[in-house]
Amino acid sequence: MLKPLLKGDRVVIISPAGFVGSSLQPAIDVLKSWGLEVEVGKYARSQKGYFAGTDGHRLEDLQWALDHPKVKAILFARGGYGTSRIIDQLNFNGFLKFPKWLIGFSDITALHLKVNQLGVPTIHGPMALQFGKKEYASSIEHLQQLLFTGLSTINVKGDFKESQTIQADITGGNLSLLIDSMATPNELNTRDRILFIEDIGEGIYKIDRMLMHLKRAGKLEEIKALIIGHFTNISDTSPAYHQTLYELIESTLARPDVPIVTHFPAGHEPENIALPLGLPAQLEISPTKAKLKMSMRS
């Protein structure tokens, strides 16, 4: 079982997807201010067109970080696209011998699904390029609290039909990447889980199509609750689509027995609260709010 971090622990920063394009120094400085030792991957600052180096370079860095016996956490520099190009070539034997926290979101969803599948929890949360930016300060502070205390409680206002408490692991991440995982070795598993989704820059008809894909694949029949994070820069159709995002989600799920928590503060916006995946969580629903309680302590 992974444990919260301690001062003196080692963290590495790597770039398995898109080219970084700006300095990693703010993230290094913040992590050091937390009392952590910081190491940067050999190719973390590389560029090969859109990507942070060639597939081979990114694979080498990620394999090195996963295998590293002294590393307690891997902070990914950014998302974009590229992780799925190398994920099937990874060997997780060393990682399972020396497990560590993986921290990131968006394209990193592919790794969350794979690592959770292996029975190791991960953290959907801010990445290195967001460190040191004023608008992300509260999200980075929450990540620090989670990493060092192992505890997190998030309250979200809502309008629910009845009070209930749900205990289940959380799975999910970026909706587009969840769809991308279908029929692959790291396919999304929603059985008896709380499903979390978020996305950016998609048309609402594309979101409709992706939700229908999940439904047709039986993934929405197995969930205990649905948590909706940020859906940022969503475009409408012309003529306008017949439903709002939340109406679309509710009608697609079509399960009044499953609570839907909306406006959850995680995703592609500055308020990106760290969310442990692959760990038991307690979701307490009352008529006016939802409280999500999580512990990384063994």
Say which of 15, 106, 139, 152 is annotated catalytic: 106
Exactly one of 57, 124, 142, 268 is catalytic; which is it?
A: 268
Structure tokens at 291: 């409280």
Cα distance between residue 14 and residue 52, in whole Å: 9
Of the candidates 217, 177, 224, 180, the residue with the CA atom closest to the CA atom of residue 197: 177
| From 57, 142, 176, 198, the catalytic residue | 198
Neighbours of 159 (CB within 10 A): 8
Asked if 206 contacts 180 with a C-beta cutoff of 8 angstroms, the reply is no
Q: What's the rounded Cα separation, in Å, for the pair 192 and 187?
A: 15
What SS3 class is residue 238? coil
The residues that bridge with 200 in the sheet, in sequence order, are 232
Q: How many angstroms separate the CA atoms of 241 and 120, rounded?
A: 40
Which residues are bridge partners to 75 per DSSP?
13, 103
φ/ψ (deg, to 5) at 127: -115, 175
CB 41 within 8 A of CB 71: no
What whole-number distance in Å separates Cα of residue 72 and Cα of residue 231?
31
198 is catalytic: yes
**Contact by Cβ (8 Å): 241, 117:** no
Catalytic residues: 106, 198, 268
